[in-house]
Amino acid sequence: MKRILSLFFILGIFVALKAEHIAVRIYTTANITLLNTSFDLGSYNLYANDTLLIDSLIGTGHSVEFKAIEGQVNLSVDGHNYGRYNKARLQAIDSACILCLNPANGKQRTYEGSMDIRSKNGRLLLINDVDFETYLAGVAQSEIYGHESDIYRVQAVISRTWAMRNINKHAAEGFNFCDDVHCQAYHNRCIRPEIMLGTLASTGETIVDASGNLIETPFHANSGGQTSNSEDVWKNAVPYLRSVPDTFSLSMKQAHWSKKIKADKWLNYFAKNHGINTKDKNLRDSLLHFQQPQRRADILGVRLVRVRMDFGLRSTFFNVTFDSVRNEITLNGHGYGHGVGLSQEGTINMVRQGISYDSIIRHYYTGAYIKNDRSIEEEVRTENLTRHIETIIEEDRQKTTQKKSKQDDWLGRLFRILDREEREEVYDEKKQDLEDDWKYEW
Give backbone dihedrals phi and psi of 346, rounded to 5 degrees, phi first: -65, -40
Question: What's the pLDDT at 251?
Answer: 94
Label residue 428 by pLDDT band (50, 70, 90).
Answer: low
> 144-179, pLDDT tens digit by residue?
999 999 999 999 999 999 999 999 999 999 999 999
Question: What's the pLDDT at 195?
Answer: 95
Question: What's the pLDDT at 14?
Answer: 40
Residue type at 71 in one-letter notation: G
d(CA 239, CA 2): 50
Q: Of 78, 69, 128, which is closest to residue 99 (Cα–Cα)?
A: 128
Question: What's the pLDDT at 127?
Answer: 98
Is residue 437 scored above 50 in pLDDT? no
Q: What's the average model confidence in pLDDT over 330-344?
A: 98
Is residue 227 scored above 90 in pLDDT? yes
Q: 151 and 347 in contact (C-beta within 8 Å)?
A: yes
Is residue 16 scored above 50 in pLDDT? no
Q: 214 and 208 in contact (C-beta within 8 Å)?
A: yes
Q: What's the average model confidence in pLDDT over 7-17?
A: 37
CB atoms within 10 A of CB 287: 21
Q: What's the average model confidence in pLDDT over 395-406?
A: 70
Residue type at 347 in one-letter notation: T
| Residues, the chain | 442
CB atoms within 10 A of CB 311: 14
Q: What is the mean pLDDT of the chain?
A: 89
Question: What's the pLDDT at 11?
Answer: 36
pLDDT: which is higher, 281 or 1: 281
Q: CA torsion 357→363→366→370, rounded to 10°?
A: 10
Q: Of 357, 424, 427, 434, which is closest to residue 392 (Cα–Cα)?
A: 427
Is residue 420 scored above 70 in pLDDT? yes
pLDDT: which is higher, 17 or 56: 56
> 22-81, pLDDT tens digit by residue?
999 999 999 999 999 999 888 899 999 999 999 887 666 789 999 999 999 999 999 999
Label residue 106 by pLDDT band (50, 70, 90).
Answer: confident
Label residue 181 by pLDDT band (50, 70, 90).
Answer: confident
Question: What's the pLDDT at 401?
Answer: 63
d(CA 339, CA 343): 7
Label residue 182 by pLDDT band (50, 70, 90).
Answer: confident
Strands 219-220 and 342-343: parallel
CB atoms within 10 A of CB 147: 12
Question: What's the pLDDT at 384?
Answer: 92
Q: Starting at the edge strand that comes first in sequence, how are the strands of the sheet with 43-48 ordered?
A: 51-58, 43-48, 87-92, 114-120, 123-131, 21-26, 177-178
Is residue 221 scored above 90 in pLDDT? yes
Which long-range CB contacts under 8 A does 294-302 form with residues at least 24 apart? Answer: 294/226, 295/226, 295/227, 295/228, 295/229, 295/232, 295/243, 295/339, 296/232, 297/229, 297/231, 297/232, 300/270, 300/274, 300/276, 301/274, 302/270, 302/274, 302/276
Question: What's the pLDDT at 308?
Answer: 98
For residue 228, the cross-strand partners are 340
Q: What's the average model confidence in pLDDT over 293-300?
A: 97
Q: 83 and 72 in contact (C-beta within 8 Å)?
A: no
Is residue 340 scored above 50 in pLDDT? yes
Q: Of 68, 122, 89, which is closest to residue 23 (Cα–Cα)?
A: 89
Question: What's the pLDDT at 403?
Answer: 60
d(CA 306, CA 316): 9
Q: 21 and 130 in contact (C-beta within 8 Å)?
A: yes
CB atoms within 10 A of CB 326: 11
Label residue 6 by pLDDT band (50, 70, 90).
Answer: very low
Which long-range CB contacts under 8 A does 115-121 form with residues at least 24 apart? Answer: 115/37, 115/89, 115/90, 116/23, 116/87, 116/88, 116/89, 117/35, 117/66, 117/73, 117/87, 117/88, 117/89, 117/90, 118/73, 118/86, 118/87, 118/88, 119/68, 119/69, 119/71, 119/72, 119/73, 120/71
Strands 177-178 and 21-26: parallel
d(CA 174, CA 145): 31
pLDDT: which is higher, 285 or 412: 285
Question: What's the pLDDT at 429?
Answer: 56
Give 76-128 as a DSSP string: EETTEEEEEESEEEEEE-SSS-EEEEEETTS--EEEESEEEEEEETTEEEEEE
> What is the reported pTM?
0.86
Q: 283 and 276 in contact (C-beta within 8 Å)?
A: yes
> 230-245, pLDDT tens digit by residue?
999 999 999 999 999 9
Helix (H) or strand (E) holding 390: helix 376-398
d(CA 375, CA 381): 10
CA distances from 220 to 227, 228, 257 (A): 9, 11, 15
Q: Of 57, 109, 116, 59, which is closest to residue 85 (Cα–Cα)?
A: 116
